Amino acid sequence: MTRDTATAVQGYLNQIKVRGQVTAPPILNAFGAVPREKFLGNGPWRVRSEVVNTYGTTESDDPIHIYQDVLVALDEQRKLDNGLPSLWAHLFDTLCLRSGDTVLQVGCGTGYYTAVLAEIVGESGRIVAVDSDADFASKAAELLADRPNVEVIHGNACQQSFGAVDAIIVHAGSSHPHRVWLDALKPGGRLQLTLTAAGRQGVVFQIKRRREGFEAKALRRIEIFSCDEGEAATDFHQRLAFWNPVTSGVNSLRLDAHEKVDTCWLHADGFCFSQLKL
């Protein structure tokens, strides 16, 4: 690493720390340890900020240009990007990942955040990274071959099980919390997923398995690529437009059959984000 790149990496970590409100050393150390350029192909790169929704080309193939809190195109035609570092650092921090955890990553892309997760859980942990895109999965497997605590799988993580895990993080939007994910959670296991409505707008929910059922809370609104073809409940489309989900009062995820009542924040077919506490 050149001196200029080292300086750029330090600036990158400062952006993640401030914008993502991340202070946990394991998270920052993981982002500092993984070379982002390794997973993004040869530069110059096509990048876009979260503010300006158009792509621009970096001035050169110097890696300093991608040690910024920006989206980097993986497939510009589909607007599939290597996601915003400060966002994913914040979400990893919120997920309370620990050394030794087994994590299922749904939508690994070319593997950058897989490598970051592998650093966070350490050699005693394990990352099962899944992508439905064969090219992405193949590239990720190639780039992560030097990490024995990572397994990359080409498949549909919405339909098949990959064993019991401590945490699941979904790097794409979904119309509902898939039962296969909920069933995979160990006691105390956490699932982070983004429920998407029309377009790419969605709300990140964090769900935790308890003996009595599933705790749940709404974390934040984001824009994200959707990974399934189902449609979120119409009620959610309306709430997404006019409500702040973080102040929604969601406390649990109900899977039992029940009539819609006042405590149902989002009552949909097969699931309900509820204001009831466990």
The model's confidence at residue 91, banded by pLDDT at 50, 70 and 90, is very high
Q: Is residue 238 part of a domain?
A: no
Note whether residue 181 is domain-resident. Answer: no
Instruction: Establish if 58 belongs to a structural domain.
Output: yes
Q: How far apart are CA 230 and CA 226, in angstroms?
A: 9
Q: What is the mean pLDDT of the chain?
A: 91
Per-residue confidence band for 121, with pLDDT thresholds at 50, 70 and 90: very high
Question: For residue 243, what is the DSSP state?
Answer: -
Q: Are strands 165-174 and 185-196 parallel, antiparallel or unpaired?
A: parallel
The pLDDT value given to residue 50: 66
Q: What is the pLDDT of residue 243?
A: 61
Instruction: Output the pLDDT for position 272.
Output: 93
Distance CA 177, CA 271 (A): 8
Residue 77 lies in a domain: yes
Q: Are strands 252-254 and 271-274 parallel, antiparallel or unpaired?
A: antiparallel
Residue among 47, 75, 71, 74 at smallest CA distance from 60: 47
Asked if 23 contacts 11 with a C-beta cutoff of 8 angstroms, the reply is no
Q: How confident is the model at residue 78 (pLDDT cuts 50, 70, 90)?
A: confident
Backbone Cα Rg of the chain: 19
Sequence-distant (≥ 6) Cβ neighbours of residue 171 within 8 angstroms: 83, 88, 105, 106, 107, 108, 109, 113, 224
Query: How many whole angstroms separate alpha carbon 68 and alpha carbon 224?
Result: 19
Assigned domain for 75 exists: yes
pLDDT at 65 over 80: yes
The answer to the question of residue 211 being in a domain is no
For the ranges 6-10, 105-109, 175-179, the lowest mean pLDDT is seen at 175-179
The pLDDT, as a whole number, for residue 266 is 87
- Say if CB 206 and CB 94 are below 8 A apart: yes
Q: Which residues on neighbouring strands pair with residue 103, listed in sequence order?
A: 127, 167
Nearest alpha carbon to residue 34 among 146, 171, 132: 146
pLDDT category at 175 given cuts 50, 70, 90 is confident
pLDDT score of 248: 77
**What is the value of pTM for the model shown?**
0.93
Q: Tokens at residue 76, please?
A: 């510009």
pLDDT value of residue 201: 78
Number of domains in the chain: 1
Task: Give the pLDDT of residue 238.
Answer: 61
Distance of CA 243 to CAs 114, 125, 247, Å? 33, 38, 8
Residue 57 in domain? yes
Is residue 193 in some structural domain?
Answer: no
The range of the structural domain enclosing residue 27 comes to 1-87
pLDDT-derived band of residue 31, with 50, 70 and 90 as boundaries?
A: very high
Q: What is the mean predicted confidence (pLDDT) over 9-15? A: 97
